[in-house]
Amino acid sequence: MSKTYPLAVAGNIESTKKLIQETLEKRTELKASKDTIERNLRSLEKKLRRKTKGFFGKIFSSDSEREQLRIEVDGVRQQLADVTTELSLLAVDISPFQQQVTDEKYIAFIEAAERISQSQKTWQITSSVRNTEIKSSAAHSVTKSEIAIFVTELELIHSDYKAVCFKNVTGPPLFIYPGIAIWFTGNDQANIASSAELDFFFHPQRFITSSFPADAEVIDKVWDKVNKNGGPDLRFSNNFQIPVVRYASLEFTVPGLGERNYYISNYPAGEAFAEAFEAITSTTPLLKIMTQKKPALTNAFTQSYYDLLKEFSQELDRFFSSSRQDDIIIKKIEAITGKTPDRQFIGALMIYDFCQATRLLNSKKYKNTDLETAGMGFACSGLLSKNSLLEQDYEVLAHLYALNEQEDAVRSLFEIGKEGNPLPHKYDSPFGLLVQLKEINHPLFDEYAGMIYRLVNILAKADGHISKDEEANLKKIYQLTHHPVPQAAIKTAIVETTTQSLEEILAELEEMIGLDEVKNEVKTLVNFIRIQKTREASGLKTSGLSYHVVFTGNPGTGKTTVARIVAKLYKALGVLQQGHLVETDRSGLIAEYMGQTAAKVNKTVDGALNGVLFIDEAYALAGSHNNDYGHEAVAALIKRIEDDRHRLVVIMAGYTGEMQEFINTNPGFQSRFNRYISFRDYTPDELYAIFELYCRRSEYKINGEASVQLKQLFQQAYDTRNESFGNGRLVRNMFEKTLENQANRIAGIATLTTEILTTITEDDIAV
């Protein structure tokens, strides 16, 4: 007699999984047996037909033989009937999981499933890459593959209700029954999850596309080429608008299977399915939030707050993408932790810094339920996960905050902020990565400091009110983010490796503002080296070439930056193996006591081997007193230049007159330093262009009145300049003071916009 396989314990997932697996294996055995019986039956039936209807069969077979064959056929047919019956009865009863389901709810669920199955397009995204086209209005380019959704039932499951099947482009189909989900992995391994374990998330998803199905709803239009504020870029005469359509997104996260995301072109159908699914399952609170018809949106999480956070999140994502691939940052973290940081670790370092700034904003007292900390969590969520929460529409996060459910979504971020500093240091600063970037004077420091301060500005204005404490804290945070370590603690040693091509490095040189004569000199040097290398490779004679250079000019004219580029050029040309640059000056070469200077020089030179040693204000090595140890430093340096001539290049820099006099004091220098590159002072227009560059890098813009005032100040400074004219350093100092003034000006503004956050006015200019 055949048997059924009811659940041993109602609602017990493990026993149910075991029963399903056993039933699946038994059904496999029975199907194999059925196939064998069917083959045997076909063979016997064929033999019987030959003996009863065939000409020769009738002649050469007896009635008794034919009767015996009929008996055998009947017996096998009975075997087949028994196996078929057993197969039909061999199933697992899952009704204990469906006790809360009513027929009315189930009918609505099936109707909703059939409605989404009839949508013109049901997709899965099989690949997604960030759009690298700077002016594009679309953040990602995605590849969508069509999938099937249909109502069906499984033979091995006994249920009063059918299942909704979601087929996948990759991976097994997912069968959703009321109360339980089933899928099968390789080698027919059965897997199940109860509705309590099955996370379901419904939300609207926007797609920017020129081609879309008729049942998709157009909710907006965007320009193909956009400015930062989302408006059309008028520089493109052929600019056009692209429709923004709304799809329904159904996300299932299944234990052991992962995330399955389905996009439905018919948004109302997808929304109805989410409501019907919520009605028949024990869903997570997040689903209930998503499927409320009229959620309470009277809380403080406003559309303008969301817009500011989203724009910030997009900028943070771009910054994160560049910083986590930066060799200098990676090596700095390796030196502290002893491990090569991965994407998630660098993201966690940034989250730590953002958490500390948020705590400072609220006097080190914050709750995970606060509007400010919720905003910080939303804005930084993309640093740990591949997708930022702010990629969801406003309604999704507003609903989430309305029911106080955001803590679960961003708890892991807050936990990072409560840990100890992952990059410990000796300074009185709460930050980690920010301090390390400033200590090595990294080019990304300004942008990172600006991003931290910009976020706390957004958070402080979230409720539309600025208290006296918040205003004071914002000013304090500005100082702590932009000046996290004493100026004297900033290290001048720069170690940089590169895999750039010669053309890329020359392009970097060309992008520098001004310096036309310098650029021509460097290009001439590069061309000469290339020709000599080519002649050497061809077996021809080459001219003796010294790679050492003297840079002359006033402070702030770009000598250090150009020296770094020259170091990379030497590596690309095969002159140097590593191509890094170590910057030093008199204090880094001359010791305090007699006999120690040579050792200090040797130590510094050792760090520069296979790269460039850049000595700023090198003329100071000559000294001004008889008991000065400068002559000892010069002697040790010349010896190392000769001993390591194939592994060391030295670039010395300083004022024009002083450097010429210094080189002439020593024949060793005269014979080795015969190439001079002069750096002239920047013109007023070039100074203004440098200020603009600082603004672009830190996401600021200058309004018209401020622009006029800046140009007047730079013209005045240029006309009255002397030998100590600061050039780029003057611009740098003015930029830093301007940002400080801007921060103080907007600290008391309750309602912020991106325009206010990023605009420098004439009141901000440091006079």
Question: How many of the other CB atoms lie within 10 Å of CB of 325?
Answer: 11
Q: In this predicted structure, what is the pLDDT of residue 685?
A: 94
Q: What is the pLDDT of residues 645-702, one digit of tens each?
A: 888 999 999 888 888 888 888 888 888 888 899 999 999 999 999 999 888 888 889 9
What is the spatial distance between Cα 745 and Cα 729, in angstroms, rounded to a whole number? Answer: 24
Nearest 5°: the CA angle 269, 277, 89 is: 115
State how far the Cα of 550 lies from the Cα of 521, in Å rounded to an integer.
12
Provide the CA 480 distance to its chain's centre, in angstroms.
26
| pLDDT digits 0-9 by tens, 339-393 | 888 888 898 899 999 999 988 887 655 555 578 888 888 888 888 776 788 887 8
Of 229, 219, 225, 227, nearest to 240 (Cα)?
Answer: 225
Where does 502-679 sit in CATH, by number? 3.40.50.300
Q: By three-state DSSP, how is residue 121 classified?
A: coil
Pairing of strands 648-654, 759-760: unpaired
DSSP-derived secondary structure for 368-385: TTSHHHHHHHHHHGGGTS
The pLDDT of residue 549: 92
What is the dotted CATH code of the domain comprising 684-760? 1.10.8.60
Using the predicted structure, report yes or no on whether residue 139 has a pLDDT greater than 90.
Answer: no
Vertex 523 angle, CA 519 and 524, to 5°: 115
Backbone angles phi, psi at 183, to 5 degrees: -150, 160
Q: Please, where in the chain does CATH 3.40.50.300 lie?
A: 502-679
Mean pLDDT comparison of 103-107, 149-153, 540-544, highest-scoring range: 149-153
C-beta atoms surrounding 293 within 10 Å: 6
| Averaged pLDDT, 610-632 | 79
Q: What is the pLDDT of residues 222-279, one digit of tens each?
A: 777 766 555 666 666 677 888 888 888 888 888 777 778 888 999 999 989 988 888 8
Nearest to 353 by CA among 311, 309, 320, 401: 320
| pLDDT at residue 56, as a whole number | 61
* Beta sheet of 611-615, edge-to-edge order: 581-584, 611-615, 648-654, 549-553, 676-679
Question: What pLDDT is stored for residue 3 in this prediction?
Answer: 39
Q: What is the pLDDT of residues 91-106, one digit of tens each?
A: 888 777 776 677 888 8
Q: What is the pLDDT of residue 295?
A: 40
pLDDT digits (tens, 9 = 90+) for 445-491: 888 998 898 898 888 877 777 777 878 888 888 889 988 888 666 55
Residues of the chain with CATH 1.10.8.60: 684-760
Q: What is the DSSP string of 379-447?
A: HHGGGTSSS-GGGS-HHHHHHHHHTT-HHHHHHHHHHHHHSPPSS--SSS-S-SHHHHHHHTT-TTHHH
Structure tokens at 91: 């199933």
Q: Cα–Cα distance between 34 and 27 in angstroms, integer?
A: 10
Which amino acid is it at 623? G
Strands (E), 149-188: 149-152, 157-158, 163-166, 174-177, 180-185
- Measured between alpha carbons, how far is residue 532 from residues 536, 539, 623, 672, 714 in Å? 6, 11, 38, 18, 43
Residue found by looking up tokens 């087929």 in the block? 167
Q: How many CB atoms are closer than 10 A to CB 120?
A: 12
**Which residue in this structure is represented by tokens 């560059």?**
693
Going by DSSP bridges, is the β-strand pair 648-654/676-679 parallel, antiparallel, or unpaired?
A: unpaired
Q: Looking at residue 228, what is its pLDDT? A: 54
Query: pTM of the full predicted structure?
Result: 0.55
Lowest mean pLDDT among 7-21, 156-170, 440-454, 527-541: 7-21
Q: Which of 510, 505, 638, 518 has the alpha carbon at shortest distance from 575? A: 505
Long-range pairs of 598-605 with CB within 8 A, sequence gap ≥ 24: 598/632, 598/633, 598/635, 598/636, 600/633, 601/633, 601/636, 601/637, 601/640, 602/636, 602/640, 605/637, 605/640, 605/644, 605/648
Read off the amino acid at residue 123.
W
pLDDT tens digits for range 415-430: 788 888 889 888 889 9
Q: How many residues does the chain have?
A: 767
Q: Could you give the CA distance from residue 218 to residue 244 in angstroms, rounded to a whole number?
A: 6
The rounded distance, in Å, linking the Cα atoms of 680 and 727 is: 10
189-222 pLDDT tens trace = 888 887 767 777 787 887 887 788 889 888 877 7
Distance CA 185, CA 292 (A): 35
What is the rounded CA–CA span in Å between residue 18 and residue 4? Answer: 14
Strand-pairing partners, residue 664, are none
3-class secondary structure per residue, 228-284: CCCCECCCCCCCCEEEEEEEEEEEEEECCCEEEEEEECCHHHHHHHHHHHHHHCCCC
Chain centroid offset of residue 532 CA: 44
Sign of the C-alpha dihedral, residues 502, 584, 487, 714? negative
Provide the residue type at 635 as one letter: A
- Which pairing describes strands 611-615 and 648-654: parallel, antiparallel, or unpaired? parallel
Rg from Cα positions in the chain: 37
